[in-house]
Amino acid sequence: MYQQIVVLTGAGISAESGLRTFRDQDGLWEEHKIEDVATPEGYARDPLLVERFYNARWQQFHNGAIEPNAGHMALAKLEKEFTGELLVVTQNIDDLHERAGSQRLLHMHGELTKGRCPRSQQTFLLTEPFGPKHTCTCCIPAQRLRPHVVWFGEMPFGLDRIQHALDSCDLFIAIGTSGTVYPAAGFVDTANHHGAQTVEINLVEADRHSQFQYHLQGKASEIVPKLVEDILQGKILS
């Protein structure tokens, strides 16, 4: 029976809900330059372009068509029924984990549903797409909010808490992530180092698949519910 589990999710877990991944065929980085839309320098050069990029994502999951899938639901079930400790760390900026019911959840790359004051770092819930009228209420003069997402070259959120969880987990599960972006791509090494079992769930063998002790190949919506049932029944990977 596992006692402490850390789950890392990436764009792949939301793919079957209809959100595009970044690096797969037809992924977002095929038609957008990272340095234009996902760096502080890009934002300084052209904030409207960056806001348009995130607003397009924002609108996609606010139009009612995007719902959590069986993968998200299974992780929420695991949180509810597992008697040990669970932390879900997501690289995703969508809100599908929380809509499925996950609460012990850390958005290490930020949240699309929020804007952030660049001076105080206070966050504000967005009820409509980004625009120049989105300003903070914490500063005088009011500051224009920036997307509450982590761009390349910036520090992801919650690294201390993640490190702490990885140091003491006995199972680490990575779901739907290409394993190309650090520090998330290195979490498997930390978990291995501390003696945890490590398992990857992906449609393909991802970049760092050889670092995982187990590889479960297939759709997150099919594999995650099965693995969750096994864990809840006290089974250990072998």
**Are 72 and 97 contacting, i.e. CB atoms less than 8 angstroms apart?**
yes
Residue 135 or 158: the one with the smaller Cβ distance to ligand APR is 158
Report d(CA 188, CA 121) in Å as an integer: 30
Select from ligand APR, ligand NAD, none the partner in contact with residue 156, using the beta carbon and a kind-dependent cut-off of 5 to 8 Å: ligand NAD
**Structure-token pair, residue 110:** 């930020």
Q: Does 36 bind ligand APR (CB under 6 A)?
A: no
Q: How far is the CB of 65 from ligand APR (least distance, A)?
A: 17
Nearest to 54 by CA among 37, 77, 70: 37
Q: Does 206 bind ligand APR (CB under 6 A)?
A: yes
Report d(CA 209, CA 212) in Å as an integer: 6
Q: Does 109 participate in catalysis according to the annotation?
A: yes
Q: Does 219 bind ligand APR (CB under 6 A)?
A: yes
User: Given candidates 102, 113, 177, 198, which one binds ligand APR under the rule CB under 6 A?
Assistant: 177
Q: Does 14 bind ligand APR (CB under 6 A)?
A: no
Residues in the chain: 238
Q: Is 169 annotated as a binding residue?
A: no
Residue 68 or 110: the one with the smaller Cβ distance to ligand NAD is 110
**Catalytic residue (one of 109, 134, 148, 194):** 109
If you search the block for the tokens 């797409």, which residue do you land on?
A: 129
Q: Which helix (H) or strand (E) holds 4?
A: strand 4-9
Report d(CA 84, CA 26) in Å as an integer: 39
* Residues within the interface to ligand NAD (CB under 6 A): 23, 29, 34-35, 38-39, 109, 150-154, 156, 181-183
**DSSP code per residue over 122-181:** -EEE-SS---TT-B-SSSSSPPBPEEEEPPTTSPPS-HHHHHHHHHH-SEEEEES--S-S
Pick the stretch among 8-16, 54-62, 118-126, 153-161 that binds ligand APR (CB under 6 A). 8-16
Q: Does 11 bind ligand APR (CB under 6 A)?
A: yes
Q: How far is CA 223 from CA 159, 162, 199, in A?
A: 27, 24, 12
Q: Does 203 bind ligand APR (CB under 6 A)?
A: yes
Residue 30 or 229: the one with the smaller Cβ distance to ligand NAD is 30
Q: Does 176 bind ligand APR (CB under 6 A)?
A: yes
Q: How many residues bind ligand APR (CB under 6 A)?
A: 24
Q: Which amino acids are annotated as binding site, given as ranges?
A: 10-29, 54, 57, 91-94, 117, 136, 176-178, 202-204, 220
Q: Which amino acids are annotated as binding site for substrate, given as ranges?
A: 54, 57
Active site residues: 109
Q: Which amino acids are annotated as binding site for Zn(2+), given as ranges?
A: 117, 136
